[in-house]
Amino acid sequence: MTTQTERRAAPRRCLAIVLAAGEGKRMRSALPKVLHKVAGRSMLAHVLDSVARAGADAVAVVVGPGRDDVAAEARAAAPEARILVQAERLGTAHAVLAARDALAEGFDDVLVLFADTPLTRPETFAHLREKLSDGAGIAVLGFEPEDPTGYGRLLTDNDGALLAIREHKDASPAELAVGACNAGLMALDGKRALDWLARIGNSNAQKEYYLPDAVVMARGEGAACALVMAPAQEVLGVNDRAQLAVAEAEIQRRLRLAAMLGGATLVAPETVFFSFDTVLGSDVVVEPHVVFGPGVTVGDGSVIHSFSHLEGATLAKNVAIGPYARLRPGANLADKVRIGNFVEIKKADIGEGAKVNHLTYIGDASIGPRANIGAGVITCNYDGFLKYRTRIGADAFIGSNSALVAPVEIGDGAFVGSGSVVTENVEADALAVARGRQAVLPGWAAAFRKKMAALKAAK
């Protein structure tokens, strides 16, 4: 007889079935519900990432008919995922059976998940799997909501084993008093899951095949059914925009806490918004009202001043940006770079110690170490059809209110006079002045005012 220790020691193969075929009509959106984003990533992608980190060996994503957009997102998040179509929506058990061929392969563990529950942690999925490795036939995820109305109740024996899942409308008054509710997610013994699911009937008011009925099938064969409880916010299912906002708030709370525990200072945490993949180094300071879009890495000792927006940007060590700075995708800032107020950087490499301090746009450019870019400078990188690159050398100085018309190169140590429109390359250590010659006409202004006053009086 196999002992519990031996069961745990043996490697177990896991199939995760993610149900993503719901229409999500309550979202009132042309976008499928599971593609709505939380912390910069779709709910579907959140779930796929969590099951991967929980050790799933294979993933099947069940989508609705014609939902190529959902299938594409699934493949982007999990390239090896099998995409299966639920042609008719006849209940959750029916949806799981869209993965019949995968279930027939005999995985040890089968996780059944919903693509609209983006907050469930990998550790919770792993806990469900542990119950199976301990010998349970099914492990059900439960929670205790403040208001259990509408949720199926989890009925247990004195030892905490799950006896049944009773739908709200079918529960007795005593059963309705039970606080533990069904979150919908579960793990099943992979060797028996297909048989249990295939025998679920639809003798109910909705004439649908319900996944919770698998518990009845399992217990009918003497299989143990275990219960794992999770915090209510972790199993939140998103059905409308209000619940989407609740999910966003919860994941932001987690991300802020992780950032601070990781060594970053958030001056006003509740005003800072992260993406799922934001990386902050140690001793980073983030001032109030900062937004991190996807793809941002901030090196040690850097300071992000208030009201800055970053997306797709990499900051090295001891960088300072803002306030009111915008870093767009492709912004790469080396050590000790200074990006000031109302500066926008896009697809540009800024060398070590360079300064871009005021009211400036740098796009499609390379700026050398220690270069100084004055206020109001613009790299003119687009002619309406194509983008062109500007290259500014080390220690160069670009005077205020200058326009650099790409493609153009400014050599190391070169100066560009304020107000210049530079259309040709400037060699190293040269001075370039490209503006009209100033003309001064003494007394012209007084004569002009006298003339215009007479014309106005005549009218």
User: Which residues does the annotation mark as catalytic?
Assistant: 358
- The 8-class DSSP code of residue 435 comes to S
- Cα Rg, the chain, nearest whole Å: 31
Amino acid letter, 165: I
Distances (CA, A) of 394 to 81, 366, 411: 48, 10, 8
Parallel, antiparallel, or unpaired: how do β-strands 153-156 and 162-166 relate? Answer: antiparallel
- Residue ranges in 63-109 assigned as alpha helix (H): 68-77, 92-96, 100-103
How far, in Å, CA of 160 to CA of 137, rounded?
Answer: 15
Q: Provide the phi-psi class of 127: left if phi over 0, else alpha when psi is between -120 and 50, else beta.
A: alpha
Q: At what angle do helices 43-53 and 122-133 cross, to 10 degrees?
A: 50
Say whether 222 sits in a helix, a strand or coil: coil
Contacts of 342-350 spanning 24+ positions with Cβ under 8 A: 345/313, 348/379
- Asked whether 89 and 64 are in contact (CB, 8 A), the reply is yes
Q: What separation, in Å, do the N-terminal and C-terminal C-alpha atoms of the chain show?
A: 112
Looking at 167-261, which runs of residues are DSSP E strands?
A: 181-189, 225-229
Cα distances from 247 to residues 215, 250, 272, 273, 417, in angstroms, run 29, 5, 16, 13, 52
What is the SS3 assignment for 337-404? Answer: CEEEECCEEEEEEECCCCEEEECCEEEEEEECCCCEECCCCEEECECCCCECCEEECCCCEECCCCEE
